[in-house]
Amino acid sequence: MREVRKPLLVSLFLNLIVTCFILETLHISFVNGGEGFSGDYSKLSGIIIPGYASTQLRAWSILDCPYSPLDFNPLDSVWLDTTKLLSAVNCWLKCMLLDPYNQTDHPECKSRPDSGLSAITEIDPGYITGPLSSVWKEWVKWCIQFGVEANAILAAPYDWRLSASMLEERDLYFHKLKLTFETALRLRGGPSVVFAHSLGNNVFRYFLEWLKLEIAPKKYVQWLDDHIHAYFAVGSPFLGSSQTVKGALSGETFGLPISEGTVRLLFNSFGSSVWMMPFSKYCRTDNVYWKHFFEGRYTGNHKYHCDDMEFRFNYSGWPTNIVNIEIPSTRGIDAYPSITEVAQQNLSSRECGLPTQLSFSAREVSDGTFFRAIKDYDPDTEKLLYQLEKLYHDDAVLNPLTPWDRPPLKNIFCIYGIDSKTEVGYYFAPSGKPYPDNWIITDIIYENEGALFSRSGNLVNGNPGASSGDETVPYNSLSWCKTWLGSKVNITRAPQSEHDGSDVQVDLNVEHHHNADIVPNMTRDPRVKYITYYEDSESLPERRTAIWEIDKASHRNIVRSPVLMRELWLQMWHDIHPDAKSKFVTKAKRGPLRNEDCYWDYGKARCAWSEHCEYRYVFGDVHLGQSCRLKSSSADLLLRYL
């Protein structure tokens, strides 16, 4: 009897060891019939820094709106309440406008940013407006679906109307952001993953520079290593955006039901508008913070200087000149008369004069040369010049209108869309109308898939990049983070959709020259949308840098892209897995991760990806694709990505 029990006990013991080993290896548990997974996220936190106009603003005043039944009361939504925007636009403007010089609120109304995740998920909640204004809602939904705890996702909303220095001066924003990182570390026991979109990347850059003045220099990098595991820079305007100039001169409505002149008044009152002005990649400033450590011995000034490349080549490293403008023949107040003056003038007696056309590069926009040239013809340029000098070039922490070097973070993932039609230059002329509608756009220069052309379709001479931008930010600005890559880069191009690996192209150890772009020598099927990965984990010890270029991903919708969220979560799962064999997640194959990724293959009359998906009807399904779900036996679904 003992001889029978002994082998049985040994067998049970061995099975127990094997089972524990498998569970420890997987670190993953499938629930709800394989609908989702929860990895070892117990120590990680996610901190979201939203982009421009992506934080709700709420009223902090009581404002009685005449001729309208809708008033503004404390905590009422200001940005964005389309009902009040349509019915009480003058009151709404009072709650949105800032003084262009001191960035204070309107005397009758003030607004402040909302807090928490609700401030960034839907800007205008509602049955109709909610889906249209959804920004980070899908992102948070993915976090929940993949088992992330509720207190692990933290939002860092801010008043996107303010410049960086005013964010700290008025709201102590960067002090609060530092406390957010430190609180997340104490709460979860591990570092945070930073997700920043658009202007949020500029905010995060300023925070990293501001942090140098708050932490002893010897402890600065250690603080970053302790508090930040990875930084995902999504759609970052590293060198600015041409559309900022368009907004400053003629207004950019972004689909809002208000006039371009009204939007221009609003836009030019915000200190943050200048934050996204295009600037030269060849011009820098002295490192200001060293003055605080070597007081008395540091003799340098906060000087803005450009190297020889700026004057040797055209366009400041951009595809073309940003602004081409016709200067009117009249000067002073006659260049922008009031509405009553226009009505009273006898235009037939006005003396005719030929306008002068001038062109300005990105450097001449950011250093104020352009605005000084049209100062006699436009009243808003005085405000913009003041903001440029006071809030940016004279900033005590950082001049944001200078190129950004790679931050000393462990892991950086730079992600952006490419190959969309993007505005890179403009032709302006006097409109003959009173201010603020005194300029009109006569032509627009676009970049699209490596070519420049005008609005009429004619080709334009210039320096187009290898690709085009994401509809909002030009390619040269988005791809500046490629300069953070080292001398040897691994490049992989794979389809965005689920694939079996047959169309994946890999090029290892590609030589990369400093401050130069990398153009992969790979084929492209025009019917397929790709992701191109540039990965470097060797150039800097214990540091990884990766660039993800996503075909046809638009600037405003990229954070809602299922493809981006899939890749991001696979990379995060790879990073936390103890048995990951490579520095980056493999791109060899992509299969479904959620029920939503399964679909019906009408050609084969079955669910696609039959090895992972099966037909399983649930009451309420209205079509065949909805009934395709992950198999409950797909416990090894993610092992291929190690």
Residues assigned a catalytic role: 198, 470, 514
Identify the DSSP state of 334. Answer: G
| CA nearest neighbour of 146 among 591, 568, 558, 569 | 569
Q: Report yes or no: 10 and 18 within 8 Å, Cβ to Cβ.
A: no
Q: 635 Cβ partners below 8 Å, 6+ apart? A: 26, 30, 34
HSE on the CB side for 470, CA within 13 Å? 25
| CA nearest neighbour of 52 among 181, 256, 237, 192 | 237
Strand partners, 613: 630
- The 3-state DSSP class for residue 233 equals strand
Identify the DSSP state of 352. Answer: P
- For residue 306, the one-letter residue type is C
The CA distance from 460 to 450, in Å, is 12
Token readout for 76 is 């009422």
Q: Report yes or no: 107 and 48 within 8 Å, Cβ to Cβ.
A: no
Show contacts of 221-224: CB within 8 Å, 24+ apart.
Answer: 221/408, 224/407, 224/408, 224/409, 224/410
Element (H, E) at 169: helix 164-171
Helices 199-214 and 173-188 cross at an angle (nearest 10°) of: 80
What is the chain's percent helix, strand, coil content, to nearest 5?
A: 35, 20, 45
The CA distance from 116 to 163, in Å, is 21
Q: 631 Cβ partners below 8 Å, 6+ apart? A: 34, 612, 613, 614
Dihedral (CA of 97, 102, 103, 109) sign: negative
Dihedral (CA of 86, 87, 88, 92) sign: negative
Q: How far is CA 461 from CA 47, 139, 363, in A?
A: 43, 40, 19
Token readout for 396 is 């005590």
Q: Report yes or no: 447 and 396 within 8 Å, Cβ to Cβ.
A: no
Q: Report yes or no: 432 and 328 within 8 Å, Cβ to Cβ.
A: no
Identify the DSSP state of 322. Answer: S
Exposure string (b/e) for 427-465, b if CB count within 10 Å is 16 or more? bbbbeeebbbbbbbbeebbbbbeeebbeeeeeebebebb
Distance, CA of 34 to chain centre: 33
Element (H, E) at 19: helix 2-26
The CA distance from 412 to 580, in Å, is 18
Q: How many CB atoms lie within 10 A of CB 426?
A: 24
Token readout for 232 is 């995902």
Q: How many residues does the chain have?
A: 642
Q: Position of tokens 């993610």?
A: 638
